[in-house]
Structure formats: C-alpha cells, structure tokens
Structure 1
Amino acid sequence: MAAGDNPDRLTGEAAFAALCGVNPVERSSGKTQRRRLNRGGNRQANAALFRIALTRLRADPRTRAYVQRRTTEGRTKREILRCLKRYIAREIFKIVIGALSPTTT
C-alpha cells in the first residue's frame, strides 16, 4: 500500500495523489498551457493506477464515454490517461480513509 504503515500522515486527497505520483505539474512554454504527471512518488502505486486505468478503458462503459468526450474536446491520449489516473487516485483515497475511520455501532 502506498500509504505505508502510517496512513494518518495523508492530509488530504491531493497528498495521496502526490504520494502516488499522479498530481498534475504545470508544464508550459510560451502560449501553450499544459500539465503533466509528477515523475516522483511511489512508482508501484503509479503502475497500479495505470493498470486500473487500462482495465477501465477496456471494460467500463462510463470510462469509454469519458474518453470519447475528452477526445472530442481535443485532448491527447496522454492527457486523458493523466486525468483518469488522478480520478482513480481520488476514489482510492476515499476507500483508504473510509477503512481507517472507526465505525460506530
């Protein structure tokens, strides 16, 4: 697990995304405004997010519709994959935090 033995150190969804290496970094030159994924972070977590994104591209109709919509907006495949990985990291963070919170009965 990317959070390690101390998942309480994660202050928010953005911190988890940075830990996984899927937080956007501004990469602009001149008039072109772009973002890329952070090259740092946990490489195994980043690879896991990549595999999840590829599986969703093949099997999930919602993801296919998202890719189709973003393609018509003029996004490249790389940009779409970056957005997907960040979205997946957001979902996983909610699951991790939900598992950490004590359940009251």
Structure 2
Amino acid sequence: MPAGPSNQQLTDQIHGLERRLALLVERHAPQLLTVMGIGPDTAVTLLITMGDYPERLHSEASFAALCGVSPVERSSGTRQYRRLNRGGDRQANAALHRVVQTCLRVDPRTRDSYERRMTEGKTRREIVRCLKRYAAREVFHLVRPTQSCPPS
C-alpha cells in the first residue's frame, strides 16, 4: 500500500497556499489587511462574498444583509429588540465574528465600547451583533470602489 504525504509535506502545502492567498489579497485589496483582526484568510472570505462586482452592492446595509449581520426587529411582547439576521453568507458571518473576537481581545476602543454597552444593559449577544455590523460597514467602505462622477 503506497504511503500518503507526510505531515511535513502537508504543512508545507498549507504554508504555500497561505502565502498565495496573502499575495492575492495584497494585489486586489491590500487595504483590508490594515484593519485589526483581518488576516489573509478572513480578507479572502469577505472578498469572495462581495463577488466579482462589488458595485452591485449599493449600500453598506446590503453588504451587511449579504453577510447575515443586518439587524432584524424582534418583540417579545413587553420588550422590543434587534436580533442578528440568520440568513446571508455564513462564511462571511463567521469571518466577521473572528474579526470582532480578535478586536475584543486586543483593541482598547472595542473593549471600551463593549464595557459601555454592558453598563447600558445590553447582552453580550447584542453587543457582538452591533460590533459585527460595524465591522461589515468598515469592510464595505474599504473594498467597494468609490463612485466616480460620470463624464459630461
């Protein structure tokens, strides 16, 4: 029975693919790599979600809905609140979740925002939903080309 690739060969292949992904992101959207919490794998996931034509996304709200981080109004009868959208691209949602979790660990501004919202009485789930929405907004504005004025 032929032996399969060794662990070292597989590790080398993984590192090679990671380098190729990083080069692709640097070529097509290097501005994403400047955002805290976004590495090459997360950037690639978000770029795939945007697709070949980011112009088709007319607003940051449409991108948030596409990523499944747009708020959905809910009511329990006595309490009205917003919950996270369960639709959208689950891979993009997971990528934004990783960004938020990283920022919560290392970014003082995000931690301060988290603490402020906790004192306002929001739950961790509600706070993470808000932070995902902010992350989606930032990614949208970094990736989507600015509208140029049509020639007259």
TM-score by length of 2: 0.64
Unaligned runs of 5+ in 1: none
Percent identity of equivalent pairs: 64
Does 2:146 align with 1:92?
A: no
Runs of at least 4 residues off by over 4 Å:
none
Larger Rg: 1 or 2? 2
Aligned mates of 2:114, 2:69 — CA distance in 1: 18
1:64 partnered with 2:111: yes
Q: CA RMSD in A?
A: 1.4
Deviation at 1:102, TM superposition (A): 8.0
Paired positions, count? 101
Q: What is the TM-score with the length of structure 1 in the denominator?
A: 0.91
**In structure 1, what is the equivalent of residue 89 of structure 2?**
42
Question: CA–CA distance in 1 between the matches of 2:147 and 2:128?
Answer: 34
Q: Given the superposition, is the C-alpha separation of residues 9 and 69 from structure 1 closer, same or farther in structure 2, using an over 3 Å criterion?
A: same
Deviation per CA, 1:55-104: give whole Å up to 9, x if none: 0000000001001100000000000000000001010111012xx2489x
Structure 2: where are the runs of 5+ without partners?
1-46
